[in-house]
Chains A and B, each alone.
Chain A
Amino acid sequence: MSGEQRDVMMLQSPFHSRVVAANELNEWDCWAGYTTPTAYFDVELEYFAVRSTTGVFDLSPMNKYQITGPDAQAYLDRVMTRNISKINVGRVGYSVWCDDAGQVMDDGTIFRLGENEYRLCAYARAMDWLSWCAMGFDVNIEDVSDQVAALAVQGPTSCSCLKAMGLEGIDKLKPFGLVHYDFEGEDLLVSRTGFTGDLGYELWIAPHKAEALWDKLFAAGEPYMIKPIGSHALELTRIEAGFLQAGVDFVPAQDAVRLGRSRSPFELGLGWLVDMSKPVFNGKQALLKEQREGSRFRFVILDVEGNKPAHNSFIFKGKRKVGTVTSAAWCPTAKSNVAFAQIEMPHGEVGENLVAEIYFERELHWSRVLAPCKVIETAVFNPPRRRTTPALAF
């Protein structure tokens, strides 16, 4: 079959031409129906771009929903566990949402673009659920996933890159703030958000300006060692920063087939996102019950001894298996071996010593280590530059 005639099954991001050109390894994965690069040239160098200079990740495939109308806030307050009225215009909030059983369906960020205008960025397709939730509300929900192209620009020199690109005053933007710029006559939305735990921004623009934005950003960022990064490098940074990944660290409730496989916000360490003072939100009744009767699991971050990532490990307390690992990585900057695990209650309190059973392979030879590990309180990477405003120039 000739190349011209071939139907492509996978969708291509608005940055595709630039991504292809930069993708030296030609390694691809599928994300929400789009081709997405797993790595461009070297996972570790890409990782270090984020931690030492600037890494750029194409997050256009993210599901995005525009929620507008007089009831937009009331609507989101019923959908989300957190208090949406506390997100002011020009701010972004992170939240999870649950089904009636109090089980997490997804997590995402909510951009308040106007008094009655929000944009929700979600891991999973959510139009069906969002529409069901709209009954009784005067809101309009639109799937704008393919109307908005997006780049994450992350790392210590990211602010300098954007300034060099001409985004005046971007250094004043506070974490979780958003600001609009004109980009060749189109609206360029910049938010100080990200999935790396570092100083960083996300750029949102109409698809037809995507390539121009990429070109201008990379040209301006060259002195600041700007590099494109793939999903593997992003994975390392988010584990180091302690961020959960839907579909990896929990099964979205709507996808869970087997009884008991989904998790509540409390069981994911996200209780701080649950505002019980709201009169109603999806899952509230069930979560109140869970508070009374206790949770089944606890989400923990483990500091694992040694340098073998505890991928898919069982976690033991003495001889008893008390949990499993959902994400694991050797984190180069923090220089620690981190694992996220779901531990059966009442185990997994901060400071508790557990054991990870790690299997690893060297030249077709499998070995097992029983690595001691300890429950730690917070993520291993959390630099001040992530929060400092105005953003520091590196």
Chain B
Amino acid sequence: MTNYDVLLVGGGHNGLVCAAYLAKAGRKVLVLEANEALGGAAASREFAPGYSVSSCAHWLTHLSPKVSKDLDLERHGLQLAARDLDSIGLNPAGQHVTVKGGSVEGEGLSAADKQAYVEFHRKTIKFSRLLAKAFAMRPPKLVEANFTDRINLLKLGLGMKMLGREDMSDLLRLALINMYDVMEENFDNETLKALLSFDGVLGAHMGPRSPNTVFGYLYRRIGDVHGYNGPAVVKGGMGALATSVANAARAVGVEIRTLSQVERINLVDGRAVGVSLQGGEVIKAPLVVSNADPVTTFEKLVGYRHVETGLVRRVSQIRMRSGTAKLHLALDGLPGFSGLNEAQLGQRLVIAPTMDYIERAFNSAKYGESSLQPALDISIPSIHDDTLAPQGKHVLSAIVQFAPYDLKLGWDNHKEQFTRQVIDTISAFAPGIAERIVASELLTPVDLEREFHMKGGHWHHGEISLDQVMMMRPFPGATQYGTAVGGLYLCGAGSHPGGGVMGLAGRNAAREIIKRGEAA
């Protein structure tokens, strides 16, 4: 029997990244993944014969260049089929708005709006750059007087001062308010306002008027700091990225077992000592790192009854209601979108013509209903990557908001109808697309929860909002990847800095474990 130093529960991208860093530092690591495919929510799936698509996240916007370089992901097979794509906000009248990194274009756009966007983008990138610094380190604790934490806090404080008086006060003001107000303050064009504010609510249970959405927007802009001047498409889908990370991990000695679902994290005297797999196999190791979200980790794997009540309270209160579904369409040819040429079809297409449209879509979710007219983030990756569909055919992937996890009607009764509503919403901008559909698939939050073992189907393993980030992520008391359970660490999107295919949670967790050494 092999002796492992670390067991990694879950082979999501963060888990694989964490495993690779640990193995590079000389640890013997075993990754246990429940699914057949690695990558967790960074995965590809063949949803109809010959048609494949990224099954959850479909744009690469955030991947940390540090992680990419440290693990040499390109050498291990990571290829981008396209990068620095535009985001096009579709307008019913055909006056689409195109964001190209730091500038914006569009027929109906005033010169003032164009200029305002340049300034807005400059400022947000400045803020996000500061945020990115905090993302690359463990979140400093506020109460305990740890030297490293003090220095890190000092650096962040200094970074804020360095923004200059005006920008600093703007950051403090903006970070707490909502996208709706900020958009109203800066722009006139409705479609531009909606396009930008949609970035603030992606994957979240929030509308443009919800507080925290500016933070959500800045969070998205971390991608710009990480060198993505717009979304990128991974060749082979997100699953290929996972494969490259897995290859990198194996190259440094990580052992990976798929179809090995961890049923329980075993404790002795309140300390993690290993895991039990479905089927009964028991594997021991002095350290267990969970890539699962914090609720799944403590509720299902550790078991609430095996930890103290205060901890259970914290975990059970993490806000992780997803409002996001995923639609996949197999198409027998390239669809036509009104007012878009073929080159534009390969860009990121957003159906959210006005902020009120998004807010109304969110209203339904608040009351346990799906949106009558959902807001959509659409990708047609087969334009850039011909391996995803048969010759001449295409796949369309759409992130659909809002589809609440706790649907009043129950998803079994409503899935078909909602699929039709989403397709109708797309048809309004792409007439005739319905006739091109060969196969379709809708993944509701309930499906996402089942497929990817994410509580509530939440993409980010917990809402990204000011009360759940930094030293409050995943919850106070478990903020530096360690937990109240000795020998148990968290390395998933539920930990700082959070969700998105970024790899930093995994990297930071590994660094913390390595730093603690014997004490871990």
Contact = CB atoms under 8 A, between A and B. Distances in A.
Interface residues of A, number: 21
A74 B305 contact: yes
B312 A279 contact: no
A136 B313 contact: no
A388 B331 CA distance: 88
B484 interface: yes
A280 B308 contact: yes
B316 interface: yes
Contacts of A135: 304, 309, 312, 316
Interface string B304-318: 111111111100100
B165 to A, nearest CB: 36
Contact of B310 (A79, A137, A282): A282
B308 A283 contact: yes
Residue in A99, A100, A283 whose Cβ sees the most chain B Cβ within 10 Å: A100
Contacts of B312: 132, 135-136
B303 interface: yes
Contacts of B268: 279
A285 interface: yes
Given A132-B313, A135-B316, A282 B303 contact: no
A285 B306 contact: no
Given A279-B270, A280-B270, A284-B270, A78 B305 contact: yes
Interface in A103-145: 129, 132-133, 135-137
B299 interface: yes
A144 to B, nearest CB: 22
Contacts of A280: 267, 270, 305-308
A136 B267 CA distance: 16
Contacts of A137: 304-305
Residue in A71, A74, A282, A284 whose Cβ sees the most chain B Cβ within 10 Å: A282
A136 B303 contact: yes
Nearest to B303: A136
B269 interface: yes
Nearest to B310: A100
A129 B307 CA distance: 15
Interface string B473-485: 0000000000010
B270 A282 contact: no
| Interface of A: prevailing SS | loop
Residue in B269, B306, B309 whose Cβ sees the most chain A Cβ within 10 Å: B309
A137 B306 CA distance: 10
Nearest to A283: B308
B316 A100 contact: no
Interface in A278-300: 279-285
A99 B316 contact: no
Given A135-B316, A136-B303, A279 B309 contact: no
Contacts of A78: 305, 308-309
A132 B270 contact: no
Given A132-B313, A279-B267, A279-B270, A284 B304 contact: no
A70 B60 CA distance: 49
Contacts of A281: 308
A135 B305 CA distance: 7
B303 to A, nearest CB: 6
Contacts of A283: 308
B304 A136 contact: yes
Nearest to B306: A280
Given A135-B304, A135-B316, A136-B299, A282 B309 contact: yes
Contacts of A285: 270, 308, 484
Interface in B266-325: 267-270, 299, 303-313, 316
B309 A132 contact: yes
B350 to A, nearest CB: 40
Interface string A58-90: 000000000000010011001100000000000
Nearest to B486: A285
Chain B interface size band reads: 10 to 19
A96 to B, nearest CB: 15
A136 B305 contact: yes
Contacts of B304: 135-137
B306 A282 contact: no
Contacts of A282: 308-310
A53 B439 CA distance: 89
Contacts of B484: 100, 285
A279 B306 contact: yes
A100 B269 contact: no
A99 B500 CA distance: 36
Contacts of B316: 135
Contacts of B306: 279-280
A100 B308 contact: yes
Contacts of A279: 267-270, 306
B397 to A, nearest CB: 37
A78 to B, nearest CB: 6
Contacts of A133: 309
Contacts of A71: 305
Contacts of A79: 309
B267 to A, nearest CB: 7
Nearest to A277: B269
A259 to B, nearest CB: 11
A100 B267 contact: no
Interface in A254-290: 279-285
Nearest to B313: A132
A136 B295 CA distance: 12
Interface in B178-234: none
A75 B304 CA distance: 11
Nearest to B270: A280
A281 B268 CA distance: 13
Contacts of B313: 132
Contacts of A100: 308-311, 484
A99 B267 contact: no
Contacts of A75: 305
Contact of B308 (A74, A129, A284): A284
Nearest to A130: B309
Nearest to A98: B308
A284 B311 CA distance: 12
Contacts of B267: 279-280
Interface in A221-258: none
Contacts of A284: 270, 308
A99 B309 CA distance: 8
Contacts of B299: 136
Contacts of B307: 280
A137 B304 CA distance: 8
B266 to A, nearest CB: 11
A100 B475 CA distance: 15
A345 B307 CA distance: 30
A235 to B, nearest CB: 32
A132 B307 CA distance: 13
A284 B268 CA distance: 14
Contacts of B311: 100
A208 B310 CA distance: 39
Nearest to A137: B305
A129 B313 CA distance: 10
Contacts of A132: 309, 312-313
Interface in B232-271: 267-270
Interface in A123-178: 129, 132-133, 135-137
27 contacts: A71-B305, A78-B305, A78-B308, A78-B309, A79-B309, A99-B310, A100-B308, A100-B309, A100-B311, A132-B309, A132-B313, A136-B299, A136-B303, A136-B304, A136-B305, A137-B305, A279-B267, A279-B268, A279-B306, A280-B270, A280-B305, A280-B306, A280-B308, A282-B308, A283-B308, A284-B308, A285-B308
Q: 7 closest pairs, A vs B, by CB?
A: A136-B304, A100-B310, A136-B305, A133-B309, A100-B308, A282-B308, A135-B304
Given A100-B309, A135-B304, A282-B310, 12 more contacts: A78-B308, A101-B310, A136-B303, A136-B304, A136-B312, A279-B267, A279-B268, A279-B269, A279-B270, A279-B306, A281-B308, A284-B270
